[in-house]
A = this chain, B = another copy of it.
């Protein structure tokens, strides 16, 4: 289970990947955002093996991304719904969707995302100045949570990819 080692790195990209990086997890989240909530709905929609699906739903529950909710007693029946923490992953899925629409959707987007009454794409803007962010006007530096190694490494290195 080497993917769990992601969680030990001091990195806000690696840590979420400890569970998001497991196969099928992101597609289960997509289904959750589309309103699906039952084991068999996920299974039918994805074609994933049931033991894997069961395992993923357990992990997502443990991570607090979904809530496992009993909607019937006798027999016990459960459904899975996104928590606030889970819904906060929406930007990740929308960013992925925007990229996929741009580069993989030859016949136009299979799915439109609607805000109020208009279909839209997700655009990333700066939380401070409100300007759109693109890959050319951004760089990085160690933050308050950086360890010594990270501080040293970043000091040594210029973001050379910017210079291109």
Contact = CB atoms under 8 A, between A and B. Distances in A.
A56 interface: no
A159 B92 contact: no
Contact of A85 (B13, B16, B103, B146): B103
A87 B161 CA distance: 9
Interface residues of A, number: 94
Interface in A30-72: 30, 32-37, 47
Count of chain copies: 2
A97 B143 contact: no
Contacts of A30: 11, 13-14
B16 A21 contact: no
Nearest to A150: B110
Contacts of A125: 122-125
Given A13-B27, A129-B115, A34 B108 contact: no
A109 B12 contact: yes
Indicate the member of A27, A88, A91 with the most B CB atoms within 10 Å: A91
B97 A95 contact: no
A138 B110 contact: no
A118 interface: yes
A12 B110 contact: yes
Q: Which 7 A-B pairs have the closest CB atoms?
A: A12-B100, A108-B144, A87-B135, A109-B143, A91-B95, A112-B143, A108-B145
